[in-house]
Structure 1
Amino acid sequence: MAVECLQKRCCLAKGRGFMGRFKPGFALAALACFFWCIIAFIYNFSLVPVSHPRTWFNQTKLYNLMSGKKRHLTNKQTIETSSTEKKPSASIITEAISTHRYVAHPSNYHFTLDEPDKCKQDPFLVLMVPVAPHDVAARDAIRSTWGNESSVQGKAVLTLFLVGLSGGAEAQQQLEEESRQHRDLLQSDFVDSYFNLTIKTMVIMDWLATRCPQATYAMKVDSDMYINPENLMSLLLSPNTPRENYITGYLMLDQPVVRDKSSKWYVPEELYPESRYPTYVLGMGYVFSNDIPFKIVRASKSIKPFNIEDAYVGACLKWMGLNPSDAPDPSQFQTYVKDSKSTDLSKIITAIAGSSEKVIEFWQNVNRRK
């Protein structure tokens, strides 16, 4: 309306000879009309809602931040889903994540490298070695020493290594090449860390229960351990050694639960409320009848997992009503051996060597004496 009014006034002025002479009254009326049109225009514009520039900036910035976060989560979830074939991967990534999310039951993981046919030859004893993906030296040391023994006292022996996620495409490619070369690598899709050793142990138990139930005995043994296969086999072939519900090693009795948060063995009360652990066998190396893995996996459905793997196995055994057995000669399960020359390694079953070099040294010292 304001625009139309202005146009009409201009036309009238033109019709009367706007460039000519006109009356003062008409000029005043035209000027008043002009100002009225300006006021009307400003009023109409003020009725349009205008967002404050700062408010718009903040909303846009917030939206972009949230959108970026959403894209990040979506990409992460897509990667995890594709890498686990719709199975959840490890719930604990590092020690910093809330412990209530710790998931150790092996049904949550699957094998990305597997040797499902390894037990077709019915091994009597299976040695399962948890090892870090990058620790090729430890695996090679074992392959060249006690892990190279495929037959001991006429009984078939099988040695396998278990690793978690490698942490990169190049590392994974190297692992796959190593697997093709040696055919002794198992890999599962959990994050390989010290905190996840319980997961690692439960995956070992699951492999034995599902891929190798025909084996008579098995042993979980750390990668820095020296093993004397002859002495181990003598123990297992003894008529006094049970073939069911049997587990032995270095016994840990009445051990207190560590509540010091600065300790690597710290366990919060929410994961394990008792003040002491049940009797368990030290995780460096324990041997068991091969009916045990299936029973431990079954028990783990009822026992809340915590991050001390050997104590957790002890908790599962307690739930099953089983106690670890004393070794006939407890001195055969040694902890640290600093000097192989001062210890008669020919009489022991296990000892902590501490490094791949020491594993080779211990092995050579014993075999020189033969």
Structure 2
Amino acid sequence: MASYLSRYRRRILCFCSPCILLLPVYIYVSVVLCYVMKHGASGVPGARVVHSVLPRHFIASGLKRSRDLAPHPEKSFWRSELESGALWNIIQYTTDSQYNPILRPHLAANSSSVPYTAETSRRTGGGCFPNYEINQTMPDFADLPVQMKNFVTTMHCRDYPLIIDPLEVCHPQSKQWAPTLLIAIKTQTANFENRQAIRETWGRSGKIKTLSGRQRLVRTVFLLGKSEDLDIEEKLLLEGEKYGDIIQWDFMDTFFNLTLKDVLFWDWFSRRCPHALFIFKGDDDVFVRTPAVLDYLLEVKANGSFSNGSRQENIMERFVMGDVIHNAVPIRAKLANLAGFAKYYIPESFYKGLYPSYPGGGGVVYSGSLAHRLLEVSQRVHLFPIDDVYLGMCLQRLGVYPIHQPAFLTFGFPKDEPKEPCAYHTILLVHKRSPEEMFQLWFETLTPSPECRNAPLRVKPRPD
């Protein structure tokens, strides 16, 4: 009996041993199959990865969190519909979609075929007329302030003829005689005293001596629309003939039309003064330490390029500097108050969202190279009623981030800051100065006292 059991025990062991040895293999294969079914084959060593065929424009289905896989976005890469019903957002969303290189890949290969779609002008016989039908797209149109109504009905118009076009500011064909700095001042026809103060102080045209003793060419122009006062308009014509620095276009000079001065000036610059190295654009009530600004800009040009990750970029292609404002929100208050916010009123039916970062419109400096790029991209950015915000919108689409310069005081000195003896020797620009104050500050900063001669530029940032 014992011999019989021993014989069968050997047979059982011979039969079961392979099964026991194959059991770990079976378990491993089962685990691998479960993992592949759940996560795919990419994480399995030695497994053959089979990629599924994706559509041309892939949209992730949803968020997946795994230590083995990168998280997918919760929403699609490109919104198929716009959530906002604001008029400007709808118009600009359509334009951005038409210029998107992912949605329209042929644009990158043939940029010359890109259609102009900033907004079709209603033209008859070369003119551009108000579009009163647009009030049907804004439910609160009847309740809007007059300046907002005027802007909305004419915001498709951006081509206005020149009334006064100075021809002797620059030599368009000569880089040798190009100005280092072209000063472009936003002004109105009645502000003759401001223009004259600028011409005789910080904005004088010609060879200007920098603080370091170098001579550099500066040219100044004044940007204007037209007014309803025919007497003042006649005086402006005489002023233009005398000084040769007036640029006037055939549109009404209102606050919401300041954006037109930007896009039309960029066009004028590209034709009349295309080789200027830098441009200063500001209001006619600012004071600028031009010699110090020239020294600063010459140092920027000398640096030439800056590092951006693994490559060097030409700083002149991207240079823009000013008092940069971040995370600004549209003013929704209709009525005027002590801060004067009413003139910046933007209804929610027209625009929703935060404003992009932008340099304050009181004074901004950018390179001539960037100005040419701004002209091009502005054809794809719908007009916005606030000019410095519009500049920020154009910069955003160029991927250019403005440099904050603490020495640009577009809001003046902080009220709670004690005035130091050399305060005006530490700034490059200060806003809200009368013609009399411009003369006073010009002579004070032109010949600084010994204690202020080497005063460093202001570095204290403006609190946001």
In structure 2, the partner of 1:247 is 320
In structure 1, the partner of 2:256 is 195
Q: How far does residue 297 in structure 1 lie from its aligned partner after superposition? A: 2.5
**Aligned: 1:156 with 2:217:** yes
* Residues paired across the two proteins, number: 283
Q: What is the RMSD computed on CA atoms of the aligned residues? A: 2.7
SS at 1:119's partner residue? coil
- Give the whole-Å Cα distance in 2 for the aligned partners of 1:183 and 1:293: 22
**Aligned: 1:205 with 2:284:** no
Q: How far does residue 210 in structure 1 lie from its aligned partner after superposition? A: 2.3
Q: How far does residue 268 in structure 1 lie from its aligned partner after superposition? A: 2.5
Preserved CA contact (<8 Å) 1:125 1:156: yes
- Give the whole-Å Cα distance in 2 for the aligned partners of 1:340 and 1:148: 28
SS at 1:267's partner residue? coil
Preserved CA contact (<8 Å) 2:181 2:217: yes
Please identify which structure carries the higher helix content: 1
In structure 2, the partner of 1:349 is 428
Which amino acid in 1 is paired with 2:438?
A: V
Q: How does 1:54-65 map to 2 (within 5 A)?
A: none
Out of 376, 379, 383, the position equivalent to 1:301 is 379
Q: How far does residue 318 in structure 1 lie from its aligned partner after superposition? A: 0.5
Which amino acid in 2 is paired with 1:247?
A: V
Which amino acid in 2 is paired with 1:203?
A: L
Out of 117, 126, 132, the position equivalent to 2:188 is 132
Listed one character per residue, the Cα deviations across residues 216-262 of structure 1 (whole Å, up to 9, x for unaligned) are: 11110110000101110111111336322210010101111212222
Which amino acid in 2 is paired with 1:265?
A: Y
In structure 1, the partner of 2:437 is 358
In structure 1, the partner of 2:332 is 259
Structure 2 residues not aligned, in runs of 5+: 1-123, 133-144, 172-176, 209-213, 305-314, 336-341, 450-464
C-alpha change, 1:94 and 1:139, in structure 2 (3 Å) is farther
- Give the whole-Å Cα distance in 2 for the aligned partners of 1:217 and 1:104: 30
In structure 1, the partner of 2:170 is 119
- Greater shift after overlay, 280-289 or 294-303? 294-303
Which amino acid in 2 is paired with 1:312?
A: Y
Out of 197, 203, 217, the position equivalent to 1:141 is 197
SS at 1:128's partner residue? strand
- Greater shift after overlay, 137-146 or 286-295? 286-295
Structure 1 residues not aligned, in runs of 5+: 1-83
Which amino acid in 1 is paired with 2:191?
A: D
**Aligned: 1:230 with 2:270:** no
In structure 1, the partner of 2:356 is 278
Q: How far does residue 367 in structure 1 lie from its aligned partner after superposition? A: 2.6
Preserved CA contact (<8 Å) 1:229 1:349: yes
Larger radius of gyration: 1
Which amino acid in 2 is paired with 1:116?
A: L
Listed one character per residue, the Cα deviations across residues 153-200 of structure 1 (whole Å, up to 9, x for unaligned) are: 322110111111032332221111111111111111110111211112
- Give the whole-Å Cα distance in 2 for the aligned partners of 1:203 and 1:104: 14
Which amino acid in 2 is paired with 1:187?
A: Q
In structure 1, the partner of 2:149 is 97
- Greater shift after overlay, 86-95 or 226-235? 86-95
Preserved CA contact (<8 Å) 2:363 2:410: no
**Aligned: 1:317 with 2:380:** no
SS at 1:204's partner residue? helix
